[in-house]
Chains A and B, each alone.
Chain A
């Protein structure tokens, strides 16, 4: 029972978008995709650049770095060095997707399938998003943040607010709780409680620092650690404990770390999220085609675009810039379906639980319960490793040459899986730096510890980040790099000279 195509030309209209959306929604529903309601917004390319440069959010506080981002985006776009993304989608309820007006009808349909049903269902289903973000509150919260920061600028001057934001941004990656679930973001509560919080924090900080300096004799058993356990969320620690900050400054730190926390799941699920969205736009649009709702011309254009999105240039190509998360994710999703539907002996060997199972259920289960690192560790198959011809290069700074440590063969499969999974472990990618101690009764100096991972040192601009931390903390700041055996290999300080001078005196 072939139907008439919904449309045949390249031009889109609002009515057509509505019809495509309705049909795609119907097919998505038949696969059990569970989504937030969709809010589809048509915007111009210029608005797309705007959205791009404020970290993809529809509204954000003002900061020069977003302007820099905008200038750079605009420049690349004008020079034709970069196409704009076809879409931006926001993890919110309703789920907001931006469609560019320049897109053809086919592209709009592709984006609807990809973002409004693919990403949207991922946001709603994946455990990290469910745990760490509150889709219903984010837009309100950003509005609160924008207004709050604007008011601070009026009251305290834009320059002063900018300084605080600069410093917070430098430490933004260290403004997240990695293991402990945060308070949900609720904007209404946020506003109500903000006043109370100001008073409370100030009192708490006062109590901490009110400790009367102890006599010399006490210094001998000065083994008290504050914090008692190392604190991974540096911005949180500073917000709660920095001695000299004013309450509005603490609130700004809080805003930055809340935003950082909101993006934390996205950083950990890029491969899965894109893979899921690509898998579903492919499946849903083929659903339209099978029913005759789109014609061959539509499919040609769609497949052209699809294959360039999931193209992986080989390592020696001039276009190579790392592993394409779209390729990896899409291929893995497809591969899981293949393993479920047509398992080989090898698949049955490697994936006894899923080989031959219901593919849609298995895929949904993977989407709900994994992040990139664990997803790869669990589902990257020998077949796909062979198809992508993956291999591992070992770079040991102590050796003069690079070495190939694994390739796509029987011996290498498990190792490559682990190597690739480790590559998506944020804990490996970002230096592990935590608040180690505060000299509460002495000079109030703050000591951070960098727990060195496979011998990798900090990059040079660590000193600059430390200067930002110093600005927030208000007293001396030290950063020690510590080997697994507990020996301190190196340390940087801010201010650099002052401490040495004191020691000499």
Chain B
């Protein structure tokens, strides 16, 4: 190219970033199964507090490699190397084990592509982690409830109007508009005053002169008359007054409240509590992710029920007997007091080892059917036990048969089941009662 040729220099930094997003999504989709497994492992093995961080996913090379025709080990091959130190022709030595570099030697399945059989490991973001974790899950019937709940309104500002209640007067705007009006209405008078003042000025230069003096006095009178006229213009008028305008906007409600009810009685061992904790943590994360406004109420009970904060719910230690109905009673009371069913999507999740005082279980059934189930979207119960079902389970089965759509129950025997059960309880339901 000649000297005159110019290179074009282009700043592309503002151009589309993330061109690879589509390809990355396709990659993740293709290996969905692997990623889900990794996510489930993480959910089961991680401690509660860092469960929702991103994670690393490992896929065996074998599953991810793109096959091509290439030479396998065997035959006669030569390879040139740099940096000879003391080798002379005819030197012999053992094949290096482990393969890879040795020009076709090595273990049978090693690939040509340099990486050997290392697994393919990569990070997924927190966002993606949670997407996979909650893939396909949905709190039941939320959509329907949302439609019903659009009765909620929110007040938003929407400019200014000329009418309204006195407490909505916008003072600055009102005064500004009054001033504008005054200026506009007095324009003619003020112009005349200016002209008269100019005349006085020229007359002043002729002083002392009696005729001029006369004229000045006359002009000054005229000016005073005009100023009086200006003063008669009202300082503020009705139509100067501006009011803040507000309108009511319907807001689709995604308000939900989640009741976590847990047995902390003596029969609940530490490992059972751990499992319960995990179950609730999953639920909590799920809710936080899916709803704009979420309230969570923690109710723990032994023989008495108590509303506690999150910290106390998971970590404080108390022991005692078990009266499950105490917790259901408290839940019902809180519902009635603070969460009218018309305004809230209500979900209750209960975890227990299923142990209960004899005679309390049928009270539980009654409470559930009369006070709770009519108001809630969904009630899920997990019984965490390795043994046979306890009396509460039997009672709840009766409830389940008549509240099929809004009542779900499941048994968890060990930690690895938490996630599958969680999924089962909250998987998307396409049909059912609202």
Contact = CB atoms under 8 A, between A and B. Distances in A.
A70 B24 contact: yes
A457 B72 contact: yes
Interface string B60-71: 000011111111
B1 A323 contact: no
Interface in A1-33: 14, 17-18, 21, 25-26, 29
B88 A407 contact: yes
Contact of A70 (B23, B65, B101, B103): B23
Interface string A36-59: 111111111011011001100000
A394 B78 contact: yes
Interface in A301-355: 312-317, 320-323, 327
Interface string A373-395: 00000000000000011111111
Given A42-B11, A312-B82, A50 B18 contact: yes
Given A43-B13, A459-B71, A405 B95 contact: no
B103 to A, nearest CB: 5
A412 B89 contact: yes
Contacts of A41: 9-12
B69 A458 contact: yes
B80 A420 contact: yes
Contacts of B64: 68
Contacts of B104: 395, 397, 456
7 contacts: A29-B1, A64-B29, A171-B68, A323-B82, A396-B76, A405-B78, A433-B69
Chain B CB within 10 A, most for which of A78, A162, A312, A395: A395
Given A67-B25, A394-B78, A314 B20 contact: no
Given A50-B19, A461-B65, A461-B68, A40 B7 contact: yes
Interface stretch (B44-52, B107-115, B372-380): B107-115
Contact of B81 (A17, A64, A390, A433): A390
A268 interface: no
A118 B78 CA distance: 32
Contacts of B123: 75, 78
A160 interface: no
Interface in B8-64: 8-13, 15, 17-20, 22-30, 64
A333 B82 CA distance: 18
Interface in A400-430: 400-409, 411-412, 416, 419-420, 422-423, 430
A478 interface: no
Interface string A437-455: 0000000000000101111
A460 B87 contact: no
Contacts of B66: 65, 166, 169-170
B252 interface: no
Given A54-B23, A68-B27, A393-B78, A430 B70 contact: yes
Nearest to A432: B69
Nearest to A17: B9
A130 to B, nearest CB: 17
A66 interface: yes
B93 interface: yes
A423 B79 CA distance: 7
Contacts of A18: 7, 9
Contacts of A66: 20, 23
Contacts of A114: none
B23 A62 contact: yes
B109 A323 contact: no
A402 B248 CA distance: 85
Given A34-B1, A433-B69, A456-B104, 4 more contacts: A21-B9, A41-B9, A68-B64, A400-B95
Contacts of A68: 27, 64, 120
Contacts of A69: 23
Taking residues whose C-beta sits less than 8 angstroms from the other chain, chain B's interface range is: 35 or more
B80 A454 contact: no
Contact of A14 (B11, B26, B67, B78): B11
Instruction: Provide the main secondary structure of the chain B interface.
Output: loop
A330 to B, nearest CB: 14
B80 A391 contact: yes
A40 to B, nearest CB: 5
A36 B1 CA distance: 7
B70 A38 contact: no
A327 B80 CA distance: 14
Contact of A459 (B11, B29, B94, B112): B112
Given A43-B12, A50-B18, A70-B24, A402 B92 contact: yes
A391 B81 contact: yes
Given A25-B1, A395-B76, A411-B89, A63 B12 contact: no
A47 B78 contact: no
Nearest to A169: B66
A72 interface: yes
Contacts of B89: 404-407, 409, 411-412
Contacts of A37: 1, 5-8
Contacts of A404: 87-92
